[in-house]
Structure 1
Amino acid sequence: MEGSGAGFRKELLSKLLPLHFRDHRTRVSADALQLTAELLRIFVVEAAVRGVRQAQAEDVAQVDVEQLEKVLPQLLLDF
């Protein structure tokens, strides 16, 4: 996945992040956007990997929402 260009676009993050700021004058630098995009990419990849491991442990051929729901609590604690 690294180097494949997959990830979150900075334009999307620059629109989404301000929705959660209390002060409308808060700005996000380009470096902060890049770091946030990388963190989200790693989070999604880790969720997918853990979902696959959970599906394998359950002898299921396909990852479903159920497997992701099972790994989500620990994933959120790890991040």
Structure 2
Amino acid sequence: MGASAGALDALRRFFRAASSAPDNVAYVILVHLAPDFESHLPALLAHDTPLPVSAVEDGIAPRAGHVYVIPPAATVVIEQVSSG
């Protein structure tokens, strides 16, 4: 999901409404912020969903039932790696 920096209210309403949705989805939130801005979005959204909310970190694999927030000044690549 992409949003502007002013979309906190919309994101909070979305996660409150989605709290009863199945937990077989991983949510990745991209918010346009200044590169030197310290984002508190994971902590803010954690109040509006029972799902775990965290900032994306290098090397993690998104898991269903989680919310991931892209930190400012980060480039994130999510790719499927087939096993076998």
What TM-score comes out, normalization by structure 2 length?
0.24
RCO higher in structure (CA 8 A, sep ≥6): 2
Identify the structure with the greater strand proportion.
Answer: 2
Give 1 or 2 for the bigger CA radius of gyration: 1
Identify the structure with the greater helix proportion.
Answer: 1
